[in-house]
Amino acid sequence: MEWLNHGSWTMKGQAAYYWTGRWVGSEIALGGLKTRVKRISVLGTGAEVAFEQSSNRLVMRGLPGSCPDDILGYAVLKLEFEKRPRQALGAGCVII
């Protein structure tokens, strides 16, 4: 079983890119983000993604019902942060 069972990360500056090949539907929840998110969009289409963030959880809502990439079946969500993003999971392990 993979730790992040529906995606993985890449980063550039104050943006993180969440790559997912297992589209889960209209909502994705991520845990452990320690940096405030300013904006989320679907890379390629630019569609804005609604979200709510608490101290331990980020919930992205209103995503397309199916993966927006019909050819590869992979989608990338761009998360723009107030500063360099960090994610802490488990026993303080920093993933991002």
Residue 35 pLDDT exceeds 50:
yes
Q: Which overall architecture, per CATH, does domain 8-94 show? A: Sandwich (2.60)
Tell me how far apart the alpha carbons of residues 57 and 75 are, in angstroms, rounded to a whole number: 21
pLDDT at residue 2, as a whole number: 42
Mean pLDDT of the 42-67 span: 90
Tell me how far apart the alpha carbons of residues 4 and 24 are, in angstroms, rounded to a whole number: 13
Write the CA distances from 46 to 19, 28, 68, integer angstroms: 15, 18, 11
Tell me how far apart the alpha carbons of residues 55 and 52 are, in angstroms, rounded to a whole number: 10
Residue 39 pLDDT exceeds 90:
yes
Mean pLDDT of the 39-58 span: 92
Contact between 51 and 39 under an 8 Å Cβ cutoff? The reply is no
